């Protein structure tokens, strides 16, 4: 098979199996500087910019800076930075399968060996936007940072060096500032990055004129990205895809159908980010707290409250659970009947329902293997962050116990019953069939001790009343301790499937005499 190249893109007879870029898209001006070559950036922001270019809405390409030494960027040069995004998933209950050759990236530069070229691009009059995803630890302030190094060590150091070069090249012109959109999964990522840039600029003694230009000519936007991009598929699946496409692509990635890029900004940001109207998954708004709340409470919260029950019921993956009538009903009712009404933030009911249905589509995606045991990592901390505010708000607003939350919490307590410890100190629980599973949670020892010392009803009462663990006494919520205890006893006596069936309205089976 031939390799994906610009010539192949122009002459390919692949037909409707792949969406090819028009030749004109390969010569658009470079408007974006991107820090990071990871699959999330290529599968979401770069993909969306490519979609906008096809609609003549942005008309700009991306220069990527590879900041780390890991990985091999030579494939970008061999393929002229072209790569295929294979979109697979479910949208509005219907399967989605499409292949797009993305032409958003124009070139990839190494920060270590091509820093001078990066700084040269920083002075380009076409440059308007900076995008980053340097992992959660990338937005940090180093005490010994030097922005005049070749290159600076940290991402903020590199970005400040770019801004300093631009300030000098254009004599501080106020219309030459940039719109900076970090996509790292850090709350208020733009606000945090802006504070680091200013502190670093003061430490580097770049002067009051630059500080004023930094503050007034540049927008550093909080943003939230959400799309599962597993990356390169397994060898067998990759071979099948490349046979379908008719070419070899070293940079091919899989991405789910769902996509969200929420950016906090006003009219100036909207004008510069003119790619936004190209896709309904892009939002530019003065406040993106709504998107954070929906993702945290409905997607993440549902995952966290379902994982223990799913493991105890014998399901390995989210997709397998969604193929089961009872587990699928639990997930849907938990999300839409309990968690959505309890979100402690004003949310339009239709917006919440629509988001919830999209989450359910994502859970049903056959192309994404999301294992429940992986979701149990840091189980207790996730419940405290993602679910406790929703639980408390629901109880206060309705004066009732959210029963799906209560069952999920009961399954959590049983999942946390550590019975043995391995040589590394990891506690392990045991399923009804005798299968052991690891409990990767800082509170594993605490719960192992509770289960060894106390009867069931006291385990529940003690755990829920632990204000240090939850930030408040959950035992003070009227009826919650009793409801969790009742569900927990049902799981212990009859098993997780029967306890779930009882909540869904079926009679609990009578034990054989």
Cα 459 to Cα 347, 449, 492: the distances in Å are: 35, 10, 13
Cα–Cα distance for residue pair 121/138, rounded to 1 Å: 22
State mean pLDDT over 59-63. 98
Cα–Cα distance for residue pair 370/207, rounded to 1 Å: 50
Domains of the chain: 6-285 (3.40.50.720), 291-503 (1.10.1040.10)
294 contacts 392 by C-beta, under 8 angstroms: no
Q: What confidence score (pLDDT) does residue 499 get?
A: 97
Strands 260-264 and 282-285: parallel
Q: What confidence score (pLDDT) does residue 477 get?
A: 98
Chain segment 332-346, per-residue pLDDT in tens: 999 999 999 999 999
DSSP helix/strand/coil, 392: helix
Radius of gyration for the chain, computed over Cα atoms and rounded to the nearest angstrom: 26
Alpha-carbon torsion angle 171, 270, 136, 32, nearest 10: -50
Chain segment 452-465, per-residue pLDDT in tens: 999 999 999 999 99
Chain segment 288-324, per-residue pLDDT in tens: 999 999 999 999 999 999 999 999 999 999 999 999 9
- Percentage of the chain surpassing pLDDT 90? 86
pLDDT higher than threshold 50 for residue 182: yes
Q: What confidence score (pLDDT) does residue 508 get?
A: 76
State mean pLDDT over 394-414. 98
Q: What confidence score (pLDDT) does residue 324 get?
A: 97
Chain segment 372-383, per-residue pLDDT in tens: 999 999 999 999
Chain segment 4-30, per-residue pLDDT in tens: 988 888 776 655 589 999 999 999 999
Q: What confidence score (pLDDT) does residue 12 get?
A: 64
390 contacts 471 by C-beta, under 8 angstroms: no
Cα–Cα distance for residue pair 41/20, rounded to 1 Å: 20
Contacts of 46 (CB under 8 A, 6+ apart): 34, 62, 102, 104, 105
- Percentage of the chain surpassing pLDDT 70? 97
pLDDT higher than threshold 70 for residue 487: yes
Contacts 24+ apart (CB under 8 A), 377-381: 377/440, 377/441, 378/440, 378/441, 378/442, 379/304, 379/307, 379/308, 379/412, 379/415, 379/416, 379/439, 379/441, 379/443, 380/416, 380/441, 380/442, 380/443, 380/469, 381/441, 381/442
Cα–Cα distance for residue pair 100/151, rounded to 1 Å: 34
Q: What confidence score (pLDDT) does residue 511 get?
A: 55
State mean pLDDT over 109-122. 97
DSSP labels for 173-227?
-GGG--EEEE-SSSTTHHHHHHHHHHHHHHHTT--HHHHHHHHHH-EE--EEEE-
Cα–Cα distance for residue pair 259/228, rounded to 1 Å: 8
* Residue 233 or residue 415, greater confidence: 415
Cα–Cα distance for residue pair 82/113, rounded to 1 Å: 22
Q: What confidence score (pLDDT) does residue 513 get?
A: 47
State mean pLDDT over 481-497. 97
160 contacts 200 by C-beta, under 8 angstroms: yes
Backbone angles phi, psi at 478, to 5 degrees: -55, 125
DSSP helix/strand/coil, 43: helix
pLDDT higher than threshold 70 for residue 415: yes
* pLDDT band, very low/low/confident/very high, at 70 (cuts 50, 70, 90): low
pLDDT higher than threshold 80 for residue 68: no
State mean pLDDT over 25-45. 96
Chain segment 347-376, per-residue pLDDT in tens: 999 999 999 999 999 999 887 778 999 999
* pLDDT band, very low/low/confident/very high, at 391 (cuts 50, 70, 90): very high
* pLDDT band, very low/low/confident/very high, at 160 (cuts 50, 70, 90): very high
Q: What confidence score (pLDDT) does residue 366 get?
A: 85
Contacts 24+ apart (CB under 8 A), 320-329: 321/363, 321/372, 322/360, 322/363, 322/364, 326/497, 326/500, 326/501, 326/504, 327/500, 329/504
| Burial readout 248-287 (b: 16 or more C-beta within 10 A, e: otherwise) | bbebbbbbbbbbbbbbbbeeebeebbbbbebbebbbbeee
pLDDT higher than threshold 50 for residue 512: no
pLDDT higher than threshold 90 for residue 507: no
Backbone angles phi, psi at 459, to 5 degrees: -60, -50
Structure tokens at 93: 């209950």
């Amino acid at each position: 098979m031939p390799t994906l190249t610009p010539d192949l893109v122009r002459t390919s007879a692949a037909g409707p199996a792949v969406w090819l870029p028009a030749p004109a898209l390969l010569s658009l001006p470079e408007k974006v500087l991107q820090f990071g070559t990871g699959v999330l950036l290529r599968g979401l922001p770069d993909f969306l910019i490519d979609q906008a270019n096809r609609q003549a809405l942005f008309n700009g390409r991306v220069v990527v800076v590879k900041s780390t030494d890991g990985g091999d960027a030579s494939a970008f040069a061999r393929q002229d930075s072209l790569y295929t995004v294979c979109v697979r998933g479910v949208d509005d209950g219907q399967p989605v399968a499409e292949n797009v050759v993305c032409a958003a990236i124009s070139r990839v530069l190494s920060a270590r060996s091509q820093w001078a070229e990066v700084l040269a691009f920083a002075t380009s009059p076409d440059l308007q936007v900076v995008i980053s995803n340097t992992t959660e630890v990338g937005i940090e302030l180093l005490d010994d940072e030097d922005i005049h190094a070749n290159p600076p060590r940290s991402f903020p150091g590199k970005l400040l060096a770019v801004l300093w070069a631009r300030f000098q090249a254009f004599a501080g012109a106020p219309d030459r500032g940039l719109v900076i959109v970090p996509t790292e999964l850090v709350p208020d990522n733009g606000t945090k990055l802006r504070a680091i840039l200013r502190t670093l600029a003061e430490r580097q003694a770049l002067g009051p004129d630059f500080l004023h230009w930094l503050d007034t000519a540049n927008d550093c936007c909080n943003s939230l990205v959400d799309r599962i991009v597993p990356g390169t598929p397994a060898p067998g699946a990759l071979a099948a895809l490349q046979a379908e496409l008719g070419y070899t692509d070293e940079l091919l990635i899989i991405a789910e159908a769902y996509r969200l890029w929420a950016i906090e900004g006003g009219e100036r940001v909207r004008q510069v980010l003119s790619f936004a109207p190209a896709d309904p998954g892009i939002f530019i708004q003065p406040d993106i707290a709504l998107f954070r709340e929906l993702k945290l409470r409905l997607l993440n919260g549902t995952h966290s409250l379902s994982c223990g029950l799913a493991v105890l019921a014998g399901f390995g993956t989210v997709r397998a659970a969604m193929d089961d009538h009872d587990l699928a009903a639990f997930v849907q009712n938990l999300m839409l009947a309990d968690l959505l009404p309890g979100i402690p933030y004003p949310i339009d009911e239709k917006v919440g329902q629509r988001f919830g249905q999209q989450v359910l589509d994502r859970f049903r995606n056959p192309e994404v293997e999301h294992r429940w045991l992986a979701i149990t990592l840091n189980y207790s901390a996730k419940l405290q962050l993602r679910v406790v505010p929703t639980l408390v708000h629901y109880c206060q607003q309705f004066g009732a116990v959210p029963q799906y939350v209560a069952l999920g919490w009961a399954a959590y307590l049983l999942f946390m019953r550590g019975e043995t410890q391995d040589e590394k100190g990891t506690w392990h629980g045991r399923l009804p069939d005798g299968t052991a599973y690891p409990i990767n949670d800082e509170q594993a020892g605490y719960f192992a001790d509770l289960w060894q010392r106390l009867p069931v009803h006291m385990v529940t009462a003690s755990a829920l009343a632990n204000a240090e663990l939850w930030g408040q006494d959950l035992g003070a919520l009227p009826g919650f301790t009793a409801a969790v205890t009742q569900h927990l006893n049902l799981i212990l006596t009859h098993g997780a499937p029967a306890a779930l069936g009882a909540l869904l309205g079926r009679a609990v089976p009578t034990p054989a005499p």
